[in-house]
């Protein structure tokens, strides 16, 4: 079975908007700069759209040196990333890791916007994935999330109003695998790279948040629950770990190297 890459997306700030890419060098931690920054409480617990839907309105970009963030009604944040400073112990889901505090100015900018006491941290150290022997920065658990374009088309055919792919925040979108074809793949060759699907992605309330307005509804979780509930969770997409690194490009061919159930 063959397909094509139709989207590459990186998310420099966890739970902020995505950056659409035409090409990227795949690293062991996923796409460059993906979830390199995160907002945390003073105690170190991560913040996300689960608790602060307004984070959907954040539009970050990062070139490896300067993090720029736009948000409605706020002056643009232009922040030179710090790789030295206080190292905070922080948590993502149930995982403990570390981040370099990015200073009071950035913390105040985000705190004013969200109405919450928070700090901006930049990933440092090593954080292993729970399965698959990979590594990740501040993503929930895995460096890559792959969704088939046909999976979204099948979901949208069941909804009264279709939803965009950004509700699901994938790093790679592929076309040609068929609806939920990603569930049947173990190894996928993407251009020069090879990735392994190691765990279905269990979806949360973020998928019900409009990424343009931060408004919440009941879909798509209500509909997905009726036919995509597995192992006590609603699954949509596959979490992946890189096995062979290389350049990824929109338009690259995609080939199933090994199926999950040959």
Q: For position 183, which CATH number holds?
A: 2.40.33.20
Domain match, 111 and 203 both: no
Q: Would you list the DSSP string of 128-194?
A: B-SSTT-B-SSSSS-SEEEEEHHHHHHHHHHSSS---GGGS--SEEEESS-TTGGGGEEEEEETTEE
pLDDT at 262: 59
Tell whether 66 and 90 lie within a shared domain: yes
Q: What is the pLDDT of residue 261?
A: 76
Q: Within this chain, do residues 143 and 228 fall inside the same structural domain, yes or no?
A: yes
Burial class (CB in 10 A: 0-12, 13-18, 19+), 116: middle
Same domain, 150 and 240: yes
Q: Are residues 154 and 246 in the same domain?
A: yes
Structure confidence at residue 219 (pLDDT):
98
Tell whether 184 and 84 lie within a shared domain. Answer: no
Name, in order, each residue with C-beta under 8 angstroms of 75's C-beta and a sequence gap of 6 or more: none
How far apart (Å, rounded) are the C-alpha atoms in residues 96 and 113? 26
Residue 99 shares a structural domain with residue 21: no
Residues 106 and 181 in one domain: no
Query: So what's the pLDDT on residue 2?
Result: 87
Domain coverage including residue 139:
2-28+132-259
Digits of tens for pLDDT over the chain (262 positions)? Answer: 789 999 999 999 999 999 999 999 999 999 999 999 999 999 999 999 999 999 999 999 999 999 999 999 999 999 999 999 999 999 999 899 999 999 999 999 999 999 999 999 999 999 999 999 999 999 999 999 999 999 999 999 999 999 999 999 999 999 999 999 999 999 999 999 999 999 999 999 999 999 999 999 999 999 999 999 999 899 999 999 999 999 999 999 999 999 987 5
As a whole number of angstroms, the distance between CA 90 and CA 215 comes to: 28
- Which of 124, 155, 182 is the last residue before a domain boundary? 124
146 with 254, same domain: the answer is yes
The answer to whether residues 143 and 218 belong to one domain is: yes
Judge if 235 and 207 occupy the same domain.
yes
The reported pLDDT for the residue numbered 1 is 72
Q: In what order do the strands lie in the sheet with 77-80?
A: 59-62, 66-70, 77-80
The domain total for the chain is 2
End position of a domain, from candidates 70, 91, 124 = 124
Last residue of a domain, one of 79, 103, 124: 124
Find residue 254's DSSP bridge partners.
Answer: 3, 190
Q: Residue 120 corresponds to which tokens in the numbers above?
A: 């901006």
Same domain, 180 and 235: yes
């Amino acid at each position: 079975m063959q397909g094509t890459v139709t989207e590459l997306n990186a998310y420099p700030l966890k739970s902020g908007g995505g950056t659409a890419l035409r090409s990227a060098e795949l690293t062991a931690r996923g796409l460059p700069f993906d979830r390199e920054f995160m907002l945390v409480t003073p105690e170190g617990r991560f913040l996300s759209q689960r608790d602060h839907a307004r984070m959907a309105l954040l539009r970050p970009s990062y070139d490896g040196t300067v993090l720029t963030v736009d948000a409605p009604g706020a002056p643009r944040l232009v922040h030179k990333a710090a790789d030295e400073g206080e190292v905070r112990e922080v948590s993502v889901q149930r995982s403990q890791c570390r981040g370099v505090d990015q200073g009071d100015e950035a913390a105040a900018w985000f705190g004013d916007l969200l109405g919450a006491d928070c700090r901006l941290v930049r990933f440092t150290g090593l954080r292993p994935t729970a399965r698959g022997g990979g590594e990740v920065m501040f993503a929930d658990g895995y460096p890559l999330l792959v969704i088939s374009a046909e999976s979204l088309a099948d979901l949208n055919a069941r909804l009264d109003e279709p939803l965009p792919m950004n509700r699901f925040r994938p790093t790679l979108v592929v076309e040609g695998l068929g609806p939920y074809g990603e569930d049947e793949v173990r190894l996928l060759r993407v251009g020069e790279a090879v990735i392994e699907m190691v765990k279905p992605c269990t979806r949360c309330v973020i998928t019900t948040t409009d990424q343009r307005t931060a408004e919440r509804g009941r879909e798509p979780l209500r509909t997905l629950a009726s036919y995509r509930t597995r192992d006590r969770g609603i699954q949509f997409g596959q979490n992946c770990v890189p096995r062979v690194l290389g350049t990824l490009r929109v338009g690259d061919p995609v080939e199933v190297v090994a199926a999950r159930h040959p």
